[in-house]
Structure 1
Amino acid sequence: MTDLNVSVSRLSPHQECALHPSFKWKPVYNLECVFCQSTLCVRGMKAILLADTRVELYSTDLPPSGATVLVEEDYETRHCECRIKDIACALCGNIVGYHVMLPCHPCLKSCNNGHFWMFHSACVQPHERLDHNSNSILLWGSLPTSTQDDQMHSSDNLQWTECCR
């Protein structure tokens, strides 16, 4: 581990079961669309594609409502039998990633982070998210659930304001 100032709080029993130990030390990222700089996600994780580990991307457990839209029909990936559907930035309309609609059995069995919303690295600008209590880099082991995450709701309001200008 590097000399980064990081914050990890005690996990609740529910979070410990839901989050594989190897993921709790990963930083949380805010992800912006590279095409229009709108906020796509405040709960991003740097990840690799399970079916092809040479492919780096970002994932999230649940993108903020209104930041992205599902587009076109779902289709099978070329690396496995997962069914996916492209997602586009709700502000500019560019394809920025995909949503795993139906994961295949091998992907579910492999060590995964449980995220089904993926963002292509070339389509997002990541920014490490800071813990508002300590100003250190926020880690997934300290991240509140999506319903308790204040950033999820403030991001929705900011995008609505930007959209209405």
Structure 2
Amino acid sequence: MSIAVSTVVQQSRLLSGLLMLMCAGLLWIAGLLLFAQVGELSIGARSLLAVACFAFGSYVFFRTLKSRKIYKIHVSGSGQIRLAVRPETEAGALDEGELVELLPDSTLWPGLLLLRLQNEQRQTHNVVILPDSVSAEGFRALLVACRWIVMRHADADKRRFSGN
């Protein structure tokens, strides 16, 4: 069985929707703080809290819009990973990408992949992959390939520390 897989990861609509709901909730809370009587807080404290909620909600909203990226992940049969990144706003094909290493603190769950990938210059890419980011078959294949890579590294570490 080969673990080779190549897939394009889009931004998750579910995650984007949840972030937008959080931002809308923060804006709603800011409005309530400004225009509704909230406990025993003074108008100065309410205004300060409202501004903080508005600023944080706006920051998350615009940061989410700005950081939308498309990832192309290619795992070879030997477990070597190539990552190509392109902002979603740019048109064109993804290039070949760069070699990256799967870090051990990545999360590999059946419904969520949080891949922490590090290139040779020690830059880290955090890739959030939900089932709606890729095809169902691509998600499963990527999960199996990443688990195989983690197990292979764990076996190599075990042999190195045992002296074999």
Q: TM-score range by the shorter chain?
A: under 0.3
- Larger Cα-atom Rg: 2
Determine which structure has the larger strand proportion and give its number: 1
Q: What TM-score comes out, normalization by structure 1 length? A: 0.26
Q: What TM-score comes out, normalization by structure 2 length? A: 0.26
Determine which structure has the larger helix proportion and give its number: 2
